[in-house]
């Protein structure tokens, strides 16, 4: 039997829906007919707390904490299957990105390994203009898997010794142009 806390209407945030509408892609939620095609199409819905349909329903009802603390937004793999199949052509993946940004802004990423990976990846691209797999792996493990770091030593050494992980990072040419693009994207709220 699943036990859920009962939430009174006074505990809901009625301005949450309007806040989501103001985010890039957020107003698309108005078009949702709750058909469930997005959740039925989602290849990662089986590991999510709530499927995309339920997330939209929770947003409409004002369940801010449930939405922003759920693992759903972090397990979205950005495959766009939900967006392609949505009968109302809602860009669901864009809404998930907006929710991720809001969760990061509110500091709701503590303990989220997927959030650590995402933020570490973006910092790698900003630093080198591309991903540096070795540094990404080391930084991720130190942040998200610190107490399990020894489990990764053998795998890391095998990859490194077989030339599968470059030791030295490669920077792209004109990295400042990439940084300008990333800065603009960040200002627009797209990262």
pLDDT number for residue 1? 46
The answer to whether the CB of 134 falls within 8 A of the CB of 168 is no
pLDDT number for residue 115? 81
Q: Say how many Å lie between the first and final Cα of the chain, rounded.
A: 39
The answer to whether the CB of 70 falls within 8 A of the CB of 49 is yes
DSSP 8-state secondary structure symbol assigned to residue 132:
-
pLDDT per position as a tens digit, 11-44: 567 788 889 898 878 888 999 999 999 999 999 9
Q: How confident is the model at residue 184 (pLDDT cuts 50, 70, 90)?
A: confident
Distances, alpha carbon 67 to alpha carbons 59, 95, 144, in Å: 7, 12, 22
Helix-strand-coil split of the chain, %, nearest 5: 65, 0, 35
The H or E element containing residue 159 is helix 153-161
| Domains of the chain with CATH codes | 9-105 (1.10.1060.10), 113-187 (no CATH)
Is the pLDDT at 178 greater than 50, yes or no?
Answer: yes
Mean pLDDT in residue range 88-101: 91
Q: How confident is the model at residue 9 (pLDDT cuts 50, 70, 90)?
A: low
pLDDT number for residue 39? 96
Tokens 């669901």 sit on residue: 92
Is the pLDDT at 93 greater than 50, yes or no?
Answer: yes
Is this structure's pTM higher than 0.75? Answer: no
How far apart are alpha carbons 159 and 156 in whole angstroms? 5
């Amino acid at each position: 039997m699943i036990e859920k806390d009962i939430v009174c209407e006074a505990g809901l945030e009625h301005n949450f829906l309007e806040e989501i509408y103001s985010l890039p892609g957020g107003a698309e939620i108005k078009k949702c007919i709750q058909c469930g095609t997005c959740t039925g199409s989602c290849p990662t819905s089986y590991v999510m707390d709530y499927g995309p349909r339920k997330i939209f329903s929770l947003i409409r009802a004002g369940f801010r904490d449930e939405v922003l603390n759920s693992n759903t937004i972090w397990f979205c793999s950005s495959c766009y299957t939900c967006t392609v199949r949505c009968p109302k052509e809602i860009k669901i993946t864009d809404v998930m990105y907006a929710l991720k940004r809001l969760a990061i802004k509110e500091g709701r990423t503590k303990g989220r390994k997927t959030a650590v990976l995402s933020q570490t990846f973006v910092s790698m691209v900003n630093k080198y203009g591309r991903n540096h797999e070795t540094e990404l792996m080391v930084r991720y493990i130190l942040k998200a898997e610190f107490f399990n770091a020894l489990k990764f030593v053998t795998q890391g050494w095998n990859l490194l010794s077989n030339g599968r992980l470059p030791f030295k990072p490669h920077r792209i040419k004109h990295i400042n142009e990439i940084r300008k693009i990333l800065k603009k994207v960040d200002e627009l709220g797209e990262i």
